[in-house]
Amino acid sequence: MVERCVFLVVAAGRGSRAGAGGPKQYRDLGGRQVLTRTLEALLTAAPSSQAKVVIHADDRDLYDAAVAPLKPDLRARLLEPTIGGATRQESVCNGLDALAPLCDDDDDVLIHDAARPFASPALIDRALHAAREKGAAIPGLAVTDTIKQVAEDSRIVATPERASLRAVQTPQAFRFGLIHKAHLSARAAGASELTDDAAVAEWAGHCVFIFPGDTENGKLTTMEDFLHAELKLLENLPDIRTGMGFDVHALGEGDHVWLGGVKIPHNQGLIGHSDADVLLHAITDAVLGAIADGDIGAHFPPTDEKWRGASSDQFLAHAVALVAAKGGRVAHIDATLICERPKVGPHRDAIRARIAEIMGLPLDRVAVKATTSEKLGFTGRQEGIAAQAIATVRLP
């Protein structure tokens, strides 16, 4: 049997209003997927709980990638995911069906939106207490704005009294038997337009109660929501650190160079043990420097044949993962290439986009500049390319 409570996390939607980049529950948020953050918040807040995620039939690989970064003790409390339906209501019912062999009617189930990654321990505690005391309860916030009811032609037809209104959230908390039977009854009756689980319970004749929600527990729906969430994460990381990186690679025979993860045609190539991406190497060292964790050579020794010809994007991704493992994130990158040729300008946008992709950063947090040494020194003689970078990292 499931001990204490189980979270049923609904992650089967497609989330198109958040813009391009796939379903919002799998979008990057501060270097980690939204679903990763949601599961971590729930399972950490209730140490003896388990969680089942309802996913879209096409999303198993995305789900596996989202749960991989969780600590082993948290991953061990994940039940096998269940495939959802065409609507949220169908998805929840499928999830409850899958939990039925594991749960008693008196067990607690907390049904939560995957796109709410900021559920606090206090909110989870209130939900658990409400489920045990009331059998059916949901978090809600008092409405502070005046609400208008409008007709299809935008004409105002009513102004509800806001004192009795609540904006509701998840997790919605129930005794398992109550909400499962309510969903089964609604499915059998063809009542398929119920917008949340409280509405399903109400339709089945149950009283549903409100307990205090949390203003920080917002749902990520639009691109603006993601931008605000990014700022919130940064505000919670007060320890600001700076790292510097510098790298040089000689030019030799070849027909291209790798700069910032982008293959650029050239009449020479950069010489190195890996792909010799001088820009990614400098950025990697800058990130490692910000957390005082050695340098690229310590993590990926040039004496190790494993890294011969390796793509440098994995070096940078490793450095970013080390920051994330400390509970932090990279906030900004400022890098400069020093060379006479190739000309960087035509490739700058592609380089910035690739670095942002590797690091899980918004594009406006990656700066790439280029300069020459006025034909002085080895870069002026086109014997090599140099790069320097500054990384800003925020930690708890």
Query: Six-digit token pair at 234?
Result: 């940064």
Q: How far apart are CA 116 and CA 269, in angstroms?
A: 47
Last residue in a domain, options 192, 208, 234: 234
Q: Do 276 and 189 share a structural domain? A: no
Last residue of a domain, which of 179, 212, 234? 234
pLDDT tens string 135-163: 999 999 999 999 999 999 999 999 999 99
Annotated binding-site residue? 381: yes
Q: Are residues 165 and 265 in the same domain?
A: no
> Which of 321, 322, 330 lies closest to 292 in space, CA to CA?
322
274 is in an annotated binding site: yes
How many CA atoms within 13 Å lie on the side-chain side of 101? 3
Same domain (yes/no): 244, 230: no
Tell me the three state secondary structure of residue 365: helix
Residue 296 and residue 221 share a domain: no
- 378 marked ligand binding residue: yes
CA distance 277 to 362: 22
Element (H, E) at 34: helix 34-45
Model pLDDT for residues 173-213, shown as the tens digit of each residue: 999 999 999 999 999 999 999 999 999 999 999 999 999 99
How many helices (H) and strands (E) the chain has is answered by 13, 19
Give the residues across from 258 on adjacent strands.
Answer: 263
Q: Are 169 and 63 found together in one domain?
A: yes
Same domain, yes or no, for 216 and 351? Answer: no
Q: Is 373 annotated as a binding residue?
A: yes
Q: Would you give the DSSP letter of residue 346? A: G
Each residue of 26-59: pLDDT tens digit? 998 877 899 999 999 999 999 999 999 999 999 9
Are 269 and 216 members of one domain? no
What is the domain range of residue 36? 5-234
Q: Does residue 222 sit in the same domain as residue 273?
A: no
* CATH code of residue 155: 3.90.550.10
262 is in an annotated binding site: no
CB 231 within 8 A of CB 159: no
pLDDT at 130 over 70: yes
| 296 labelled ligand-binding | yes
Is 281 labelled a binding residue?
Answer: yes
Q: How far, CA to CA in Å, does 183 sit from each of 94, 117, 203, 205, 278?
A: 9, 25, 9, 12, 58
Q: Does 371 show up as a binding residue in the annotation?
A: yes
**Residue 312 marked as a ligand binder:** no
Question: How many domains does the structure of the chain reveal?
Answer: 2
299 is in an annotated binding site: no
* Close Cβ partners of 58 (under 8 Å, ≥ 6 residues apart): none
Q: Does 251 share its domain with 205?
A: no
The residue behind tokens 């650190």 is 241
Angle at 42 between CA 39 and CA 45, to 5 degrees: 140
CA distances from 85 to 33, 39, 95, 96, 145 (A): 22, 21, 10, 12, 34
pLDDT at 1: 38
Q: Are 220 and 245 found together in one domain?
A: no
Q: Is 209 annotated as a binding residue?
A: no
Whether residues 218 and 285 fall in one domain? no
Banded pLDDT at 19 (limits 50, 70, 90):
low
Whether 228 has a binding-site annotation, put simply, is no
Domain boundary at 194, 211, 234, which? 234
Query: Do 253 and 190 share a domain, yes or no?
Result: no
C-beta separation of 210 from 139 below 8 A: yes
pLDDT of residue 2: 43
Residues in the chain: 396
Residues 6 or more apart whose Cβ sits within 8 Å of residue 263: 256, 257
Cα–Cα distance between 282 and 272 in angstroms, integer? 14
Q: Average pLDDT, whole number, for the chain? A: 93
CA-CA distance, 283 to 264, in Å (whole number)?
A: 18
* Residue 307's CATH number: 3.30.1330.50
Distance between CA atoms of 261 and 366, rounded to whole angstroms? 13
Which residues 6+ apart lie within 8 Å of 275 measured at CB?
258, 309, 310, 311, 312
The model's confidence at residue 378, banded by pLDDT at 50, 70 and 90, is: very high
Residue 207 identity: C
Helix (H, G, I), strand (E, B) or coil at 326: coil
